[in-house]
Amino acid sequence: MDSLLMNLMIIIVLGIASQWIAWRFRLPAIVVMSIAGLLIGPIFGLLSPKEDFGDMFKPIISMAVAIILFEGSLNLDFREVRGLGRPVTRIVTFGAFLAWLLGSLAAYYVAGLSWASAFVIGGLFIVTGPTVILPLLRQSKLKPRPAAILKWEGIIADPFGALLSVFAFEIIRFLLSDSETGNSLVGFFLASLFAIVFGWFIGRGTGWIFEKGHVPEYLKSPVVFAIVLACFAICDGIYHETGLLAVTAMGMTLANMHISSIEDMRNFKENISVLLISTIFVMLTASLTMKTLVEIFNWKIVLFVLLMLFIVRPLSIWISTIGTDLSVKEKALVSWIAPRGIVALTVSSYFANALLDAGFKDAKILTSLTFALVFATVCAHGFSMKWLAQKLDLAIGDEPGVLIVGGSSFSTGFARIIHEDLDVPVMIADSSWQRLNSARSAGIPFYHGEVLAEHTEYHLDMTPYEFMLAASELDSYNALVCTTFVPEIGRNNLFQLSLRTAKSGDIDDLGHTIGGRILFRKGITWEELNLKVEKGYVFRKTNITEKYSFEKYLSEREEGSILLCIHRASKRLEFFTADHEIRGEAGDIVISLGPPCKEKTKIQEKLDEKKKKSKEE
């Protein structure tokens, strides 16, 4: 027991450490997790999860996949694909069928599989899945259209790919066995239909009991967690692999009911999903054998993988999207990105055993074939997705942007200097046209609408903005905005203006979990900042060099100036806050708001020079 506990701890720690390393060094997380699993598993032989966990190995993997798939489908709100319904539908139907057919032909003619094994594994290889697509989308910062297409395809194709393999397997059993009747095929279709209806019914029922208040807030996430597992287990028990279809239907149903507590559930499920993806990927790769790793270098397998990458996927996307409004660049990106993940690895092992039992000896290479495709696509697409998206102008720039909530003269001036002088993406959001007047006049990008409204996420693309500054005149509103966006942006990147203690009552005494970090320094309120701007205070940028150090700058700056932020040489933006002291270094640029002393001196010098010239003339 102690050994099993230790092994589980090692797997979880390695998985999360891999996620952190990927974030820290901007690497594809799936690649790092796979390498970690290979190192502790087949390469050094430290762990063998399949043997360590025994009979619990497959149920753990299956339940984890169900939760991950449900979490992904919980994000499939139909409002997100307005204008994209046709290409998404074509890709997950006609495109999936083409990928199945072409992949099966490649498996038969190139990998040397029998027709039976080829059509089973060809159906499985149409899946991409949320386990790999969602982390890559998070890191690559694609524009909304291609990101939505890849996300919807990945989540919808996941259960259908598994079901397509089951369907092919049942057809083969029916054709090759004298004892089989059409009842097995009818049973398969009825089980699939039941899974969809059951998932929809469970989703509607869950949403109804939540909306009617039959479940307290603190139990909602655990209740959903339990219901998802029950929904998956019941359908999967009736017919293998239909459980994935059921949880996908359940998640999509809940996502489109627009219930008030959906966001809390989504955040909880996302956290659980990250933990499960990290753990499961390490477990699966650590469970491989050296024989499997050596086998993937077989020339037939290598050639098959290359065909899947460069022929099958591009052809299926380009043909299926003929007549849609996708641009050539969008088609090029989508046709390249198709990483396979957990579902392909887990389901292929099931079919390898099932086909071997049915007498298909060639099925013994299915695990090697699947891992070769998974690892090749994860590496190729993980490392190239961001680069290709940037080349095709389908990605947001690397420069972390700033979203300022609250229009004012200060917001406009601050946005202008970081946008025009530092080339940082910036946007000012406000529900009032009047408060946006100065931003509109200055040519600063703006969003007219309430950032807290639900529909905002479908009209305002938040991808470019890593920082949010709540800079309205209402302390309570600023605190609410920061608290609301903690899951999306992160507490360290949320800022609000200093509280007006004379008017805010007990707001200072609120817990640290409410609101954002206080900008600049305490006492620098909305009124004071805007008053200074109206009095002629100037936004300045100052270059810190080896000769002109940050300390020298501090000693020489004008009295009454306010330090706003530092633009690091690495392009990173850091804000001065009341709770954290930052210091500039050579190569950094300091942005400040100060009295117009220098500007007045320069103007006076120019006037004196003109007078002198006129006298000489």
pLDDT tens sequence across 479-500: 888 887 877 777 788 888 877 6
CB atoms within 10 A of CB 292: 17
d(CA 261, CA 255): 11
Check residue 506 and give its pLDDT.
45
Q: Which two tokens stand for residue 335?
A: 């046709």
Task: Give me the helices (H) in 110-140, please.
Answer: 115-124, 130-140
Check residue 306 and give its pLDDT.
92
Amino acid 306 reads: L
Cα distances (angstroms) measured from residue 573 to each of 409, 542, 563: 22, 14, 13
Stretch 208-214: mean pLDDT:
83
Amino acid 523 reads: G
Residue 152 per-residue DSSP state? H
In 3D space, the residue among 91, 143, 80 whose CA is nearest the CA of residue 323 turns out to be: 91
d(CA 216, CA 146): 38
The model's pTM: 0.66
Q: Which residue has the higher pLDDT, 172 or 508?
A: 172
Structure confidence by residue, pLDDT tens digits, 50-74: 788 877 887 887 787 777 778 767 7
Beta carbons within 8 Å of 319's beta carbon, 6+ residues apart? 94, 95, 98
Check residue 459 and give its pLDDT.
65
- The string over 474-504, giving b where at least 16 C-beta atoms fall within 10 Å of a residue's C-beta and e elsewhere, is ebeebbbbbbbbbeebeeebbbbbbbbeeeb
Q: Which two tokens stand for residue 458?
A: 């479908």
Handedness of CA 169, 175, 178, 183 (dihedral sign): positive
Q: What's phi and psi for 534, nearest 5 deg?
A: -65, -25
Task: Sort residue 258 into left (φ over 0), alpha (ψ -120 to 50) or beta.
Answer: left
Residue in the structure block whose two tokens are 């499939």: 76
d(CA 306, CA 111): 11
- Ordered domains of the chain (ranges, CATH): 2-45+59-391 (1.20.1530.20), 401-604 (3.40.50.720)
Check residue 80 and give its pLDDT.
59
d(CA 346, CA 350): 7
Beta carbons within 8 Å of 14's beta carbon, 6+ residues apart? 33, 36, 37, 40, 282
Q: Which two tokens stand for residue 300?
A: 């037939």
Structure confidence by residue, pLDDT tens digits, 102-160: 999 998 899 888 888 888 888 888 877 666 776 777 677 777 788 878 887 877 776 67
Beta carbons within 8 Å of 557's beta carbon, 6+ residues apart? 592, 594
Check residue 198 and give its pLDDT.
92
In 3D space, the residue among 159, 151, 163, 158 whose CA is nearest the CA of residue 76 turns out to be: 151
Inter-residue contact 401 to 425 (CB < 8 Å): yes
Q: Rounded to 10 degrees, what is the CA torsion of 247, 252, 253, 259?
A: 120
* Angle formed at CA 492 by CA 267 and CA 130, multiple of 5 degrees: 35
Stretch 169-191: mean pLDDT:
69
Stretch 378-395: mean pLDDT:
83
Is 602 a residue whose pLDDT tops 60? no
Which segment of 38-47, 85-94, 124-133, 599-608 scores lowest on mean pLDDT? 599-608
d(CA 263, CA 463): 18
Q: Which two tokens stand for residue 321?
A: 């999207």
Structure confidence by residue, pLDDT tens digits, 569-590: 877 888 888 777 788 888 888 8
Burial class (CB in 10 A: 0-12, 13-18, 19+), 289: middle
Inter-residue contact 469 to 517 (CB < 8 Å): no
Inter-residue contact 121 to 370 (CB < 8 Å): yes
Is 508 a residue whose pLDDT tops 60? no
Beta carbons within 8 Å of 481's beta carbon, 6+ residues apart? 405, 451, 452, 468, 470, 472, 496, 516
* pLDDT band at 263; cut points 50, 70, 90: low
Check residue 303 and give its pLDDT.
93
Is 453 a residue whose pLDDT tops 90? no
Q: Which two tokens stand for residue 406?
A: 């609250």
In 3D space, the residue among 433, 385, 422 whose CA is nearest the CA of residue 141 turns out to be: 385
In 3D space, the residue among 511, 477, 415 whose CA is nearest the CA of residue 497 turns out to be: 477
Q: Which two tokens stand for residue 323?
A: 């007549």
